[in-house]
A and B are shown apart, each in its own frame.
Chain A
Amino acid sequence: MIDEGPWPRMELIYERSRAGRRAGRVPDYGLPRPELPAELRRTHAPRLPEVSEPELVRHITALADRNFGIDTGFYPLGSCTMKHNPRVNERAGRLPGFRDLHPYQDDEGAQGMLELEWRLQEILKEIAGLPAITLQPAAGSQGELTGLMLMRAYFADRGEDEQRDTIVTADTAHGTNPASVTMAGYRLEKVATDARGNLDLADLGAKVNERTAGLMLTNPSTLGLFDEGIEEVARIFHAAGALLYYDGANLNAVVGRSRPGDMGFDIVHFNLHKTFSQPHGGGGPGGGPVAVRESIAPFLPAPLVVRDGDTFRLDYDRPKSIGRVRGFTGPAGVFIRSYAFMRAYGPGLREMSDVAVLNANYLLARLRDDYELPYDRLCMHEFVLSARRLKRDHGITALDVAKRLMDFRIHPPTIYFPLVVPEALMIEPTETEPKERLDEFVEAMRQIAREAAEDPETLRQAPHHRPVRRLDEVRAAKQPVVRYAFETEVVT
């Protein structure tokens, strides 16, 4: 069959499978093989693929060819911080002393790992400006849930848990925030954003009272703007006896420039896979450590990593702890990579944020006239444009812009978020991009704006140069097909 390239027809691994093929072999020591009880034994072999190693490697390669990572090109996905993932971190993660270490090893047999975790804690505490920390949560959203549980425990300890049943979030909040609030058993109260992109203090004042447990906020916000009233915001909540929780998704803007603890936040989660270069892996893994004020430290998940002179150990003696939120001390492999990243920069982590903010402002300055800028301010590490004008004048939406960017070998920015901006395009270049990539992005966005006026159909039919055209998401939701059907699969 002639290969019409560049995207060859793609099979599922189950379609590459041939009965009797295999890749791996398992040693057999000729020992007696006891039979398991009949009622517990497998009756039908699982239909796993039967492939040889060459075919498996080809399959993995074909899949990789159809995917796009930061390694491939510019990836300005707002609020995701798609920065370069350093390769030395991968080498570190494969060191046998880390890779083959069992988590139930005695503390004295894990001193290297425990020291790494302790030192990571120290650096994170310095960046947050808070004195206590847990590394356990598996992701930012789990960090959020942990933070809310910490709030609950703090207020329960003071006899105020019944009374304080509400969490306040911004109307620009990440989708995880309201979901975490629900899972923690709290009510949700939303506060508006004002014309300058800050929390509306009048609205806030009206909504904070004795029922308020706390605020969940990211600063800078998802609009990429630093809340100029943050000191007053903190005062309002603390005066009402409530706490402030910092969503660390946008921390890349302010490392070494402003510390969440100094802004007034009492609980801070970090996204190691955003700010601190843990690779995103197509969706995960991540890491979501949570730093807290001294008054909240007693409630942190157990165990904590502590130092006694020259040795390090796990401290399980935490009587007021909320309990465990994940296995062991957390995602250790993620700690290794983030720690390596931090040690590479040292105090120069501040420059990381400086350049993240410089890159974003440069794009903003060059794109503000071609698209609509809803908040006329210098931004921080990201900013939001609106494609509203294109929609009004030419019927071209943010979605069309995103799909056409793919043809330029650029990953689209985040679209339709935050909800307060219509036809939103949230752009975060990060600090690792060179100026030429930024200029290419500007040229691509300008060309798209021109095409909207001159040739909108090309935009509506985009992408033209990816393995698939636009996919029918309605069909996928209405008739969900979530596994290979073996006998009945129809290959197109």
Chain B
Amino acid sequence: MAAAESYPDDLLYHPEHDWARVDGDEAVLGITWFAQDALGELVHFEAPEAGVSVTKDEAYGEVESVKAVSDVVAPLSGEILEVNARAIDEPELVNEDPYGEGWLVRIRVADDGELAALLGADAYRAVIAEQ
């Protein structure tokens, strides 16, 4: 039961189909509607542990459906403060609510200079249109 296609304007996007919601010096990360639609119903989220560092443009975990497995790419560098345990227990939440209940990790942002490299919703929609 997937959500309707959307790319909220208050988020920043990475071309590998990941989003970031920045709030002060923290950010919540997840995968976009496009990613969950391409994968199909998720069956597994291979999550990192709290305390681990993530690096911009590098994988910090994996999501898996019946037909594919995909890296989850960090849009920003930082330290993992919290992992969404619900996404681990019920990975289909990511399909149902990719920007809300289906969030994956919360990080402390290491370098807010990296925000400039991310895309706004319109720019990200343009990226998808070319796929």
Report if A and B touch in the complex (beta carbons < 8 A). Answer: yes
Kindly provide the distance from the CB of A144 to the nearest chain B CB, expressed in whole angstroms: 21
> Is chain B's binding surface mostly helix, strand, loop or mixed?
strand
Residue of A nearest to B64 (CB): A477
Chain A 324-353 against B: per-residue CB contact (8 Å), 1 yes, 0 no?
000000000000000000000000000000
Residue of B nearest to A474 (CB): B41
Residues of A within 8 A of B64 (CB): 477
Residues of A within 8 A of B66 (CB): 473-474, 477
B125 at the interface (CB under 8 A from A): no
Q: Which of A426-449 contact B (CB under 8 A)?
A: none
Kindly provide the distance from the CB of B131 to the nearest chain A CB, expressed in whole angstroms: 13
A474 to B2, CA, bound (A): 14
Residues of B within 8 A of A477 (CB): 43-44, 64-66
A474 to B65, CA, bound (A): 8
A477 to B69, CA, bound (A): 12
Residues of B within 8 A of A473 (CB): 66
A473 to B43, CA, bound (A): 10
Q: How many residues of B contact A (CB 8 A)?
A: 7
Q: How many residues of A contact B (CB 8 A)?
A: 4
Q: Which of A453-492 contact B (CB under 8 A)?
A: 473-474, 477-478
A19 to B64, CA, bound (A): 42
Kindly provide the distance from the CB of A482 to the nearest chain B CB, expressed in whole angstroms: 14
Q: Which of B19-48 contact A (CB under 8 A)?
A: 41, 43-44
B78 at the interface (CB under 8 A from A): no
A477 to B68, CA, bound (A): 12
Residues of A within 8 A of B44 (CB): 477-478
A473 to B64, CA, bound (A): 13
A474 to B43, CA, bound (A): 7
Most chain A Cβ neighbours within 10 Å, of B41, B64, B91: B41
A473 to B65, CA, bound (A): 10
Chain B 41-67 against A: per-residue CB contact (8 Å), 1 yes, 0 no?
101100000000000000000001110
A477 to B43, CA, bound (A): 6
Q: Which of B61-90 contact A (CB under 8 A)?
A: 64-66
A474 to B95, CA, bound (A): 13
Q: Which of A15-68 contact B (CB under 8 A)?
A: none
A477 to B39, CA, bound (A): 14
A414 to B64, CA, bound (A): 22
Kindly provide the distance from the CB of A400 to the nearest chain B CB, expressed in whole angstroms: 16
Kindly provide the distance from the CB of A28 to the nearest chain B CB, expressed in whole angstroms: 50
A478 to B43, CA, bound (A): 5
Kindly provide the distance from the CB of B96 to the nearest chain A CB, expressed in whole angstroms: 14
Q: Which 4 A-B pairs have the closest CB atoms?
A: A477-B43, A478-B43, A473-B66, A474-B41
Name 13 A/B residue pairs within 8 A (Cβ), A-sorted.
A473-B66, A474-B41, A474-B43, A474-B65, A474-B66, A477-B43, A477-B44, A477-B64, A477-B65, A477-B66, A478-B43, A478-B44, A478-B91
Given contacts A474-B43, A474-B65, A474-B66, 10 further A-B contacts (CB under 8 A): A473-B66, A474-B41, A477-B43, A477-B44, A477-B64, A477-B65, A477-B66, A478-B43, A478-B44, A478-B91
